[in-house]
Structure 1
Amino acid sequence: MGEVAERYRRRAEAFEQKIAGVRPEQWGNQSPCDKWSARDVVDHIVAMHGYLLRPVGRTVPPDEDPLPAFRNARAAVEQVLAAPDLAGQECDTPAGRMTVEEQIDQVVSDDLVLHGWDLARATGQDETMDPVDVERLWASNSAIPAEVIERYRTPGAFGPGIEVFGPEVVVPADAPLQARLLGFIGRHP
């Protein structure tokens, strides 16, 4: 298993455990994403999996239940990551041309960490992110040029209803890195 596939697997396992930890009455809970409930967070993750599989002609089998829906999405992505001919195909993305594997790593795999925090916050679960992931996400996000960050913070810049980052939430400079990362992407840690 390659580095990207292993990172995805580890992150997907953590996200799946958070889904499994949601009690039925919690699915309507407000998430840190203003327009999303806990259920909407999982629906977004599943939809993004499907979106990133389109360039290789794959889809995610639908399911109304969040846990099986995510498991279907996860299995489809893991199949693509395990197939070098599919993972290595190039596709056009909002960030430029890259392989399907790179896009999975930079988009949906990273989203599993960030939206895993959203789901945990919405449902009263442990909000601690893996420190390795926090460091990696801090390094990649804080290196994004200011003009690109501004676009990420502009609602609808990537299409109707799409918001990548919220307005930055200022946290103390000496706050833990997880809190600084969350503030940077627009969350209130």
Structure 2
Amino acid sequence: MIAERYRARADAFEAKVAHVREDQWDNPSPCARWTARGVVDHVIDMHGVMLSRQIPRTDDPLTDFREARRQVQEALDSDRAGEEVSTPSGPMTLEDHIDQVVSDDLVLHGWDLARATGQDETIPTADLERLWAAATAVPAELMERFRTPGAFGPGIEVYGPEIPVPEDAPLQDRLLGYVGRDPVSKSF
């Protein structure tokens, strides 16, 4: 199930990367410090973090993402998936760590990339429901840490400050606001 979920999310993210025009890579993203290219670079870096290695880079973000996803998918499809790894949240299996970090990142950063490059921003309902349940289940003291830049390492910010969104807003808008993204504003 985890490997299949990762595969589907990686397919969707890869499609977004493939549709970025050359003149859009420097567009600002909803992540304040990153351009569209910066979003993809971050996702690739996090794939490497999951595997405790650096992903080789070229000048092509699509090629680089494909290599990163190949390595993660290979780990998910191997005996390594069940190995215990140390994480900032405590020990868990490699596949659970991938599922809770990089796989979820593909959804949220897929939205960031879509917003930055004018692509379809719709997050699949199943992903919305799963991410909403996970985000709102985080205890308040841990959520404070998630919202603190650098709490999990230099340059790492799990969530930004919450952006108020009406309670009756669509679930996608509520999720995005909760994790620190403005679902309405197109300006950065």
Same fold per superposition (TM over 0.5): yes
Report whether the alignment pairs 1:82 with 2:77: yes
- TM-score by structure 2 length? 0.95
Q: Which residue is equivalent to 2:129?
A: 135
Among 131, 149, 155, the residue aligned to 1:155: 149
Aligned length: 183
Residue type at the aligned position of 1:150: E
Deviations 1:48-100, CA, capped at 9 Å, x for gaps: 0011011xxx65332221000000001101111111x2111111100110011
Specify the code of the residue in structure 2 equivalent to 1:135. E
Percent identical pairs in the alignment equals: 64
- Which residue of structure 2 aligns with residue 68 of structure 1? 63
Q: Which residue of 2 aligns with 1:13?
A: 11
TM-score (norm 1): 0.95
AA paired with 2:170?
Answer: P
Q: Distance between the aligned counterparts of 2:41 and 2:4, measured in 1?
A: 23
1:160 deviates by 2.2
Q: Partners in 1 of 2:25 and 2:94 — Cα distance? A: 31
Question: Residues 59 and 89 of structure 1: is their aligned pair in 2 closer, same or farther, counting only changes over 3 Å?
Answer: farther
Residue in 1 that maps onto 2:51: 53
Please, which runs of 5 or more residues in structure 2 have no aligned partner?
184-188
Once residues 58 and 99 of structure 2 are traced to their aligned partners in structure 1, the CA distance between those partners, rounded to angstroms, is 24
Aligned CA RMSD, in angstroms, stands at 0.9
Aligned partner of 1:179 among 145, 157, 173: 173
Check whether the contact 2:25–2:36 (CA below 8 A) recurs between aligned residues: yes
The runs of at least 4 aligned residues of structure 1 exceeding 4 Å deviation read none
Aligned with residue 22 of structure 2, among 2, 21, 24: 24
Conserved 8 A contact 2:45-2:54: no
What is the aligned partner in structure 1 of residue 186 from structure 2? none
Counterpart code for 2:30: P
Report if aligned partners of 1:31, 1:41 keep a CA contact under 8 Å in 2: yes
Q: Distance in 1 between matches of 2:36 and 2:136?
A: 27
Matches within 5 A, 1:99-110: 99-110=93-104
